[in-house]
C-alpha cells in the first residue's frame, strides 16, 4: 500500500536512486569494494573477494527483510544475506567494518548520483529561462514593489533574474559535490583499530574503487554537517522554485491576468466553480518548498550527535535525505514544464501599464524637472503633490502635468509618458546576463 505521495504522485527518476533496492545495491557495492581492498592488501584471498562479488549479485531484498525481521538490524541483515550467498568466503564479509562504514559510504554514493541528476535538471531549467529571457527582453510590463505598481520593467528582466539564480545553484552544486562524495572505512569509533595498522591504506583503496574521497577523520559516522549542507542546498533550490511559482500565481490573479499556467481542454479548476482556472501547479510547488525547508532544519539538528555518535539522526535521515532529493527534483522538473508552457496575455500586460493613469511615470517627470534646473528635492515634492492630486481627481497624470508643469512642452510630455521608452538598460542587462 502506498502511503507517501513521493512514491507515485510526486515521483521522478530520483526515486530510483534512493529506493530500498538501490540502497541495498549501494551497501553491497561498498562491501564488495571492501573485500577487494582486503584482497589487494593480502588480508584475504583474491578468490574470496571474487566470491563475495559474485554473491552480491544474488542477494535479494526480500531475503534481507526476512533476516531483519528476526534480528532487528537492517545492515547486519544484509551482511548475513551476503554471507549466506558467499559460501566459505562469507567469513570475510564486512571484515573489520562497522555498520556506518557501509551505510554512510553508500549514502554518499546515492547523494552523489542524486546531485548528478539534479544538475542535469537545473541545466535544462536554466536553458528554458534563458530562452524566455531572450524572447521577452522587449516585453514591457509594470514592475511592482511592496505589492504596488512601481516602474516599467520587462519580462525578460524577470526571467534573467531567475536564470542567474539557477546559475548560482549550479555553482553551489559543483562546490558541494566534493564535500558530499566522502566515504569512510574507519571502524567502530573511527580509530581503525580493527584493521591492525592498515586502516588508512585500506580506506583509500575502498574509496578509490567507489569513486569517492576518503574522510580525513571520523568517529563512528561521517559528520552530519555534510548532510545538513546537502539538504540546505536542496532547500535553497526549492526556495527558488517557490519564488518563481509565487510570481506566476500572483500574475495569474484575475485582477492582473498577465500570465497563466497552461490549462488543458478537459482540465478542471474547481469542483464547485466551473469557471475557475487555478494555478494549482505553482501552488503545489509553494507547498512542497515548505517541506524541504523543514527537512533542512531537521538535518541541522542531526549535526550535534553525542560523543562518538548516537542514533538520533538515523530514523529521520531515512525520510529527509531521500524525500528532500525527490521533492526538489520534482519541483525543478515541474517548474521547467510550467515555464515551457506558460501563457502570456499581452492585452492585460498593456492594460496594467495604463492602470495607474500615468502615476508610474512620476519618477521620470521628476528627473525631467531636475534636467530643467529644478532642485532634486523640490522636484520630488512637486511630483509628490501632483501625484496625490491626480489620484484624488482620478485624472491622468499627463493631463495634470500639461496644465501645471509649464517647464515641459507637450512633445516632451508625450515622450515622457511612453512607457516602452523608460526601461533603462533592461535589454542590455538581459542580454549580458544570459550570454554565458
DSSP states of 65-101: HHHHHHHS-HHHHHHHHHHHHHGGGGGGTTTT--HHH
Taking alpha carbons only, the member of 10, 25, 9, 61 closest to residue 325 is 10
With beta carbons less than 8 A apart as the criterion, state whether 17 and 325 touch. Answer: yes
Please state whether beta strands 148-154 and 140-145 pair in parallel, antiparallel, or not at all (unpaired): antiparallel
4, 270, 287, 421: the catalytic one is 270
Across the strands, what pairs with 141? 153
Catalytic entry in 146, 271, 275, 307: 146
Q: How far apart, in whole angstroms, are the C-alpha atoms of residue 214 and residue 216? A: 6
**336 vs 331: CA distance, rounded Å:** 8
Cβ atoms 151, 185 nearer than 8 A: no
**Cα–Cα dist 93/159, whole Å:** 54
Whether 270 is a known active-site residue: answer: yes
Collapsed DSSP state (helix, strand, coil) of residue 143: strand
Catalytic site residues? Answer: 146, 270
Amino acid at each position: 500500500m502506498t502511503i507517501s505521495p513521493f512514491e507515485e504522485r510526486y515521483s521522478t527518476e530520483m526515486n530510483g536512486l534512493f529506493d530500498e533496492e538501490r540502497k541495498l545495491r549501494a551497501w553491497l557495492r561498498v562491501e564488495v569494494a571492501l573485500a577487494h581492498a582486503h584482497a589487494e592488501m593480502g588480508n584475504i584471498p583474491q578468490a574470496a573477494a571474487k566470491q563475495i562479488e559474485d554473491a552480491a549479485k544474488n542477494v535479494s531484498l526480500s531475503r534481507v527483510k526476512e533476516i531483519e525481521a528476526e534480528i532487528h538490524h537492517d545492515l547486519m541483515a544484509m551482511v548475513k544475506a551476503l554471507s549466506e550467498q558467499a559460501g566459505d568466503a562469507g567469513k570475510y564479509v564486512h571484515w573489520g567494518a562497522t555498520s556506518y562504514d557501509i551505510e554512510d559510504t553508500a549514502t554518499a554514493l546515492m547523494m552523489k548520483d542524486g546531485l548528478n541528476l539534479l544538475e542535469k535538471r537545473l541545466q535544462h531549467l536554466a536553458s528554458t529561462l534563458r530562452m524566455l529571457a531572450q524572447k521577452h527582453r522587449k516585453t514591457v510590463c509594470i514592475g511592482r514593489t511592496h505589492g504596488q505598481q512601481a516602474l516599467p520593467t520587462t519580462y525578460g528582466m524577470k526571467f534573467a533574474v531567475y536564470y542567474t539564480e539557477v546559475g548560482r545553484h549550479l555553482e553551489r552544486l559543483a562546490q558541494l559535490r566534493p564535500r558530499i562524495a566522502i566515504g569512510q572505512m574507519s571502524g567502530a569509533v573511527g580509530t581503525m583499530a580493527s584493521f591492525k595498522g592498515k586502516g588508512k591504506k585500506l580506506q583509500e583503496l575502498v574509496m578509490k574503487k567507489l569513486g569517492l574521497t576518503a574522510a580525513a577523520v571520523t568517529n563512528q559516522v561521517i559528520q552530519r554537517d555534510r548532510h545538513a549542507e546537502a539538504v540546505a542546498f536542496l532547500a535553497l533550490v526549492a526556495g527558488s522554485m517557490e519564488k518563481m511559482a509565487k510570481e506566476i500565481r500572483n500574475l495569474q490573479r484575475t485582477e492582473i491576468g498577465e500570465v497563466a499556467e497552461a490549462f488543458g481542454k478537459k482540465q478542471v479548476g474547481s469542483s464547485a466553480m466551473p469557471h475557475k482556472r487555478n494555478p494549482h501547479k505553482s501552488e503545489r510547488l509553494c507547498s512542497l518548498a515548505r517541506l524541504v525547508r523543514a527537512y533542512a532544519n531537521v538535518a541541522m539538528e542531526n549535526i550535534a550527535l553525542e560523543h562518538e555518535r548516537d542514533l538520533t539522526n538515523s530514523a529521520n535521515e531515512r525520510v529527509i535525505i531521500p524525500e528532500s532529493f525527490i521533492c526538489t527534483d520534482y519541483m525543478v522538473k515541474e517548474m521547467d514544464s510550467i515555464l515551457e508552457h506558460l501563457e502570456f496575455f499581452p492585452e492585460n500586460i498593456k492594460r496594467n501599464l495604463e492602470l495607474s493613469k500615468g502615476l508610474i511615470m512620476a519618477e521620470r517627470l521628476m528627473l525631467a524637472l531636475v534636467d530643467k534646473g529644478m532642485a532634486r528635492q523640490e522636484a520630488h515634492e512637486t511630483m509628490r503633490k501632483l501625484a496625490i492630486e491626480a489620484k484624488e481627481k482620478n485624472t491622468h497624470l499627463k493631463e495634470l502635468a500639461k496644465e501645471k508643469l509649464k517647464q515641459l512642452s507637450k512633445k516632451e510630455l508625450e515622450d515622457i509618458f511612453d512607457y516602452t521608452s523608460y526601461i533603462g538598460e533592461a535589454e542590455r542587462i538581459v542580454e549580458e546576463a544570459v550570454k554565458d
